[in-house]
Structure 1
Amino acid sequence: MLSLGPGSACDVCLEPFGTELKTPCSIPCGHVFCVSCLHNVARPTCPLCRIPFNSWDIIKLHIDLDSIAAALSVEQMPIPSNTQEHARQLQNRITQVAQSGATEIQTTQLTEECKVFLAPLPKHMYSDLRTAYKMLHYMCNVKHLYIEQGRTLNQHLRNITTLTQEVDRLKAGIEALKIEKRRLEQAWQTVSAERDSVALECEKLHEQLHNAEAQMLLVTE
């Protein structure tokens, strides 16, 4: 049975676990997300570590509601006075990323900072920041997907280039074989002509020899 604290929430949507759509589920890599987010990921990979999983790998976890109730009864720590300023800074940084862009490392770091900041707070607080965080998280997933697809496409292009070069090499080899075939055919024709000429010459010599033998017989008689 899974025991959750009052701040336990899905790392993707930041919604607290507990409802039917927010039932915590584990996947083979060990990370836990709500069932709704796992069924709506862009591709079947863990949103945190990117390890792939199958739909039948998703395991619903039972929640220890008594632990949640006991944890909620404990007096929560007061929100620091600089929380509002921190939220404003995070919001501004997300806006800057949306307008000017950022590296994958910077975007991932900002996403993690937002998650850590928002996770312990009630979900009704900083709704704009939560929405911006979800959009940023989605953008990171899409960007990562595009990068992977780009790498796959580049690999396919390299394979196509290699195959094209191999085809060109084979075509050149075939053309060279055709040229060699024509050369051998011409050589064979030359040899055949010489053979026929030699055969004709032999016939002439044989005839001359026969005539000479006949004349010799006449002389001896």
Structure 2
Amino acid sequence: MLGLAAGAGLLLAAAGQQWATGQLTAPGPVPPVPVALTGADLTGAPSGIGWAGLAGIAGLYATRGWARRLVGALVAAGGVLALTSVWGATRPDALMEAVAKNATDAAGTAQVAAAPHLAALGPAMAGGGAVLLVLAGLLSAVRAPAWPGMGTRYDRDAAPRATRAETPADLWKSLDAGDDPTLDAPDGGRSEDPAGPGDAGEPAPLAARPAEPKENH
């Protein structure tokens, strides 16, 4: 979970970092204008996959078995997609195209003065975050079914467990744990009727007491 959170955080942080810088020139005695491009300007994959990675943490906690394997596989696939997008966005021709598109949006007569310069921090953060997602996703897909999941004490289909309460404190502990202390009693917690089959609804007769000796006057 920590690796997954760290990878998603790196991707989200890298999207706002400056990845490349370039210069635009225009006809006439105008000095070149610098252009800075962030990760979000070059590709939207790091931010989107970063949010998906954070959602994957909740998915791993809430699922079990094959569903948890599926969540881990999707997280790993997202990391691979993030790596691919980072590599594609940092190629020289892709950077030149991104700066040229910025020049077209800024002014129709502006041109790219030189090849853009690629910064190392932003792409490195995105690549590291993507690798962490791949590793965390693969580890989850392989090992997650053996990990403990969310508690089943509040599940509607959870079968109650019989617990014998020896003291009042044990009774409260069993209730807090979701156990039913009445299941251990005979007939589901119903006490047996001391009266006979034919005496239903009639009070039991008082036991005869031996006669007391009379006092001698």
Q: TM-score, normalised by structure 1?
A: 0.27
Rg larger in structure? 1
Structure holding more helix per residue: 1
Structure holding more strand per residue: 2
Greater RCO (CA < 8 Å, at least 6 residues apart): 2
Q: TM-score, normalised by structure 2?
A: 0.28
